[in-house]
Amino acid sequence: MATGERRIIQAIDEIVAKPGEGKALLDDYLARYAPGARARGMVLEQVLVSPPMWLDDQSNTLSFRWSIADTGGWWQMRFVGGNDPEVIAWWAEADARAVSRRRFFAAEPVDIEGLCHV
């Protein structure tokens, strides 16, 4: 990679918590999931809560934006996380406390060319 060349992949987790579970699910994600994700090379860039208040009778949406250095880092993150029983168990527990969740990957247009040539 040339000096200054970027190849950043963003991983975005979006979890819609069951009513009243937003704060606890956020705390659990940060305490139990995030340390392992960091060890797998992911960098937590942003955490958002919508709406911006804790709700007892409605759902909060929790959004976590991670960055991954490059395509090799993405494959490493996928392989290690997908084969770690603790990660699998954590997501199963989170699913029981959520209405829905999704993870998607994205990149800035400037990074796409470099990400396609691996």
Distance between CA 61 and CA 23 in Å, rounded? 10
Confidence (pTM):
0.88
Task: State how far the alpha carbon of 108 is from the alpha carbons of 26, 67, 111, 112, in Å.
Answer: 26, 11, 5, 7
Tokens coding 14: 């979006």
pLDDT score for 74: 85
Task: Map out the domains of the chain as residue ranges.
Answer: 11-115
Of the candidates 90, 76, 24, 84, the one whose C-alpha atom is nearest the C-alpha of residue 55 is 24
Name residues of the chain where pLDDT drops below 50. 1-3
CATH 3.40.50.720 is the classification of domain 11-115: no
pLDDT score for 6: 63
pLDDT score for 118: 60
Of the candidates 64, 65, 63, 54, the one whose C-alpha atom is nearest the C-alpha of residue 21 is 54
Percent of the chain with pLDDT over 70: 93
